[in-house]
Structure formats: structure tokens, C-alpha cells
A = this chain, B = another copy of it.
Amino acid sequence: MTDITFRSDFSVELIRSSGGDESVLEAMLVSTLKDQGSHDPTNEQNRGRINFLMKGRHGTPFEHNQMVFRVEAPIFVYREWHRHRIGISINEQSGRYTEFEPVFYIPPPHRDICQTGKPGAYIYTPGTEEQINFLKGDMMHQAYRQWESYQERLDKGIALEVARMSMGVNIYSTMYWTANARSIMSFLSLRTRETEETAMFPSKPMWEIDQCARALEVLFADSFPVTHESFVKNKRVSP
């Protein structure tokens, strides 16, 4: 039987970061101080300047920098992720030029798999043990069937782009995703699940993309500590 890997996690890895909090000050000060003054983000004055920009939604100074990420996630997550267009670059593994790896997503036991309420205001609740077990079994079953079919089609000489047409949206793919601090904050403001206590505009993303966004946010906070602190303090309104 084919060896399939089932994953319930995601990978968000930092490839490269350029700029950082200094880049925000650098760009701000060319506008307001004729390119003079310290770019050190740790002193109080500059911390206040970054907060002034964040609070007033002066966005452009947050763009002169870049983070490059390597992501592993299922296709249904990318279907949402790729809708972000501005200040963003994407290259993803091609199903036309490469053969997929046999890696499929299954929700972890603690992922709420039931919903109540109306569209736009769903509340997600835990499944019963029976629901969880049924879902897990069925997802594994479907994945085996899809993978066997994919392999059989390729064995019979069917083209890659055709062979993959019945593949489930929970198969994993790899992408490079590149953005600047401003576009990253826009992504975070929409893709982490927050309450009215933590966000001025609470968002209700899908659990899986929330997990990816949280992993990405840790890396962002590490590369842009002052900017990130100010983003959180101002209740996650993207500047």
C-alpha cells in the first residue's frame, strides 16, 4: 500500500528578512525631517514615532522592507491566502510541472469541526468522539483513493496536469510568499482569529489559516519588534 503522510500542522519558515524597524524610521524621516535623525527604533522618541504612524494609519513608511517565507500547507489554505494581492509575491509548486508528494491534511483532534449559526457569524464547536473518528477515517480513506488514482493515471501515461484533476484540496503544496511589513500586517489583521478585546475589527478566519498566520506573526514580531508591539497595542488595525 502506498505510503501516505498525514499532517495536522503547517510549516512557515523565514527565508530572509530585510529592513526591520529601522526601515520604517528611515522612510518616515525622509518625509518629515529631510532624512535626518536617528533610525534607532529602540529609543523612546523613535518608538513613539512608529506608534504615531501606526495609530494614524500612515502606511507607506512600513513598506520599505521585506520578509520571504517558505510555507507548507494544504491547497484549500492557499485558496484563501492567494487572495491577498497588494505588496505580495507568490511562487507555488506547480501541479503541471511537478508530481505531488503524498502528504495530506487531517484536522487535529482539538480543531472544532462542527458549526452553528448563520453564514458570516458561524460558531465552531468540537465534534463528538464519533464525529471525530468518522471524519478522520473518511479523510484517510479519501486520501488513499485519490493518491492511488493519481499514481495509476501517471502509470498509464496521463499528463501531470490531467492526472491531478481529482486531487483533494487537502493535499500539501509548497510556496514562497514575500511581503513587506505593511502587507504582512494587512494579512495578519484578516487571518488571525481575534475578539473585540484584542482587535478593533475582529476577524473570523478559518482555523487552518489562523494557525499559519500565528506562526508567521511570531517571525514577524522577531524581525520587527517595535512595529509589531505597536500593531498589537493599536488593536491590530493594519496601517
**Residues of A that sit less than 8 Å from B by CB:** 15-16, 18-19, 23, 26-28, 30-35, 52, 56-57, 60-61, 63-66, 68, 70, 74-76, 78-79, 82-83, 85-98, 101, 105, 107, 111-115, 119-120, 122, 124, 127, 131, 134-135, 138-139, 141-143, 145-146, 149, 152-153, 156-162, 164-170, 174-176, 178, 180, 190, 201, 203, 206, 237
Whole-angstrom CA separation of A149 from B141 in the bound complex: 10
Name the B residues within 8 Å of A16 (CB-CB): 18-19, 23
Partner of A83, one of B90, B167, B169: B90
Identify 17 new A-B residue pairs, CB closer than 8 A, beyond the known A31-B91, A124-B159.
A27-B176, A32-B94, A33-B98, A34-B98, A34-B174, A35-B93, A52-B120, A61-B91, A63-B89, A79-B79, A112-B159, A115-B159, A115-B160, A138-B149, A166-B170, A168-B169, A201-B237
Q: A127-B158, A142-B149 are in contact. Are A97 and B119 (CB under 8 A)?
A: yes
A169 in contact with B165 given A32-B119, A82-B83 (CB within 8 Å): yes
A64 CB, min distance to chain B CBs, angstroms: 4
Closest Cβ of chain B to A30, distance in Å, is 5
Question: In the complex, are the beta carbons of A35 and B180 less than 8 A apart?
Answer: no
Residues of B within 8 A of A57 (CB): 190, 201
Compute how far the CA of A167 lies from the CA of B75 in the bound complex, rounded to whole angstroms.
11
Q: Of B30, B161, B162, B170, which one neighbours A91 at CB under 8 angstroms?
A: B30
Known: A64-B176, A83-B90. A138 touches B166 (CB 8 A): yes
> Is B145 a contact partner of A142 (Cβ separation < 8 A)?
yes
Cβ B70 vs Cβ A30 within 8 A: yes
CA distance A135 to B26 in the complex (A): 35
Contact in complex: B166, A166 (CB < 8 Å): no
Rounded to whole angstroms, the CA-CA distance of A237 and B239 in the bound complex is 12
In the complex, the answer to whether B79 meets A75 with C-beta atoms within 8 Å is: yes
User: 16 interchain pairs (CB within 8 A)?
Assistant: A18-B19, A31-B91, A31-B94, A32-B94, A52-B120, A64-B91, A74-B165, A76-B164, A78-B79, A79-B95, A85-B85, A135-B153, A138-B153, A139-B165, A146-B168, A167-B169
